[in-house]
Amino acid sequence: MTRTTPPRPLDITGVFPELAGLARTAFRLHPVPGEPTVHDSSVGGPLLWPADEPWPEYEMAPIPHWEANALRDIHLRRALLARSSAPPHGPGEVLTEDEQETLRRINTGLDHESLPSGPQPMIPLAQLYARDVPGLAFPEGTDLLQVLWATTYVPSRDSSPVQLRWRRCAEVRDVLAAPPEPAYVAVVDFVPVPCVLHPEAVREFPPYHSLDEDLAARLLAWDEQRSGGTYWTDLSVAPGWKAGGWPTHFTFREPPEPDDDELRCPECGGPSDALLTVDSNEWDGSDSWIPLECAKGAERPPDQPYGNLWDPTQVSIGRGYSLQIYYCVGTPSHSPALIMQ
């Protein structure tokens, strides 16, 4: 399945030639719900994980006043809602009484008092094979990136809820057949729908906060004079899940920029760079990023009646933001830096 980003409304380097040397290649991942295997690049799919390697864990606690759910129940609820929403039926029309009772039980959540304490297994967030994202900065001798995370809110300036693994596929002889699962999920919106990927290389330019002050000011003034096709929305950074490229814009900070130490490796203090963007939506209010294959106004794929084309993973960061995962340029195996943007 192909996903094709439309051409940009204009070539911004024709207006600001100094941007030409700042262009980067990003890979829009274009996740689509499916059944990925360990041999596929995926979001929320199974990992090519060595059977003899410990699975990462994270010290979790239920969030007060938030529902905690079993991982299997989250997938079951999505399956029931998908079936109940399939045309020509309306919500709830095709579920049995037992299935409706199952939904009520899941929606109630688990009793926090009954939940186990201590570390819980992380869950797969993404797996990227180098063959699918050529040019992404894989460390020498590796051809596979795996990203795992904990299903709890990411504390500010704490990188521990996300872990990276860089591997060489040929070295994984025996694959872990049944990865451990957490006893509960603290944030339902952090459980991705398993998706196959359709990576597409696109050209990006820096967000405002990555430009020098003079150029950023001139671009902002240029944007303010336009009624559409602005640098911010259409000509710089692609929305959605992506690998590499430039980090996304800051959407809720004033000033809209990171602190000096946020972009430093949390282990060595060295520079970090954009690795993976986890986005709440595949596109935003600007129609220019909608893939040509996703016709404007087509809200749902025919085989996925529950969910939307712009929200295939059903992951939501905060109130619809994105989580930018940065890797250490000097030592990619170091813990990543995380910023909600």
Q: Which residue has the higher pLDDT, 251 or 238?
A: 238
For the chain, give every domain's residue range.
Answer: 12-69+109-340
Cβ neighbours around 284 below 10 Å, total = 16
CATH number, span 12-69+109-340 = 2.30.320.10
Predicted pLDDT at 217: 94
Q: Count Cα neighbours of 17 within 13 Å in the Cβ-side half-sphere.
A: 0
Give buried/exposed letters for 144-166 (b at 16+ CB in 10 A, else e): bbbbbbbbbbbeeeebbbbbbbb
β-partners of residue 175 are 50
Alpha helices by DSSP H, listed for the chain, are 71-84, 97-108, 213-224
Per-residue H/E/C for 21-75: HHCEEEEECCCEECCCCCCCCEECCCCCCECCCCCCEEECCCCCCCCCECHHHHH
Reply yes or no on whether the pLDDT at 304 is more than 60. no
CA distance 301 to 294: 9
Predicted pLDDT at 291: 93
Average of pLDDT values for 269-289?
A: 91
**Is there a contact between 139 and 332 (Cβ–Cβ < 8 Å)?**
yes
Amino acid identity of residue 333, one-letter, is: S
The pLDDT > 90 percentage for the chain reads: 68
Q: How confident is the model at residue 305 (pLDDT cuts 50, 70, 90)?
A: very low
Reply yes or no on whether the pLDDT at 176 is more than 50. yes
pLDDT digits (tens, 9 = 90+) for 75-107: 999 988 887 776 665 555 678 899 999 999 999
Q: What does pLDDT average to over the chain?
A: 89
